[in-house]
Amino acid sequence: MIHSLPMLFNSDIVYRIDCKDYNASYVDQTDKCLKVRMSEHRNHINRNTTQSSVVTDHRIETSYDFEWDNIKILDKAQILNKRLLLEMIYDI
């Protein structure tokens, strides 16, 4: 893998979460620690706030869930524009 830190403590990453119920996935990037970003996703879902993401919308609208314990770190980059480009590439 790319890192020596425990996975959830990595930041400046592009990651993927697979859907448990069918062949779909969500690719995103973050400069935050992965543990913090996953907590944000879960909080948005549980509170049904106005803040949302594709993950939040998918979970609320379909009741399908994601494989929260099997998140994949696809790449790492400190520069935002590079992470955004990598996100687009991995999302194809």
Tell me the pLDDT tens digit for each residue of 30-72. 999 999 999 888 888 777 566 667 777 777 777 778 898 999 9
Q: How far apart are CA 82 and CA 6, in angstroms?
A: 23
Residue with tokens 């919308």: 57
Say what the pLDDT of residue 52 is. 66
Average pLDDT score over residue span 70-80:
96
Q: What is the CA radius of gyration of the chain?
A: 13
Q: How far apart are CA 18 and CA 70, in angstroms?
A: 8
Q: How far apart are CA 56 and CA 64, in angstroms?
A: 10
Residue with tokens 């930041």: 11
Higher-scoring residue by pLDDT: 88, 55: 88
Q: How far apart are CA 58 and CA 18, in angstroms?
A: 12
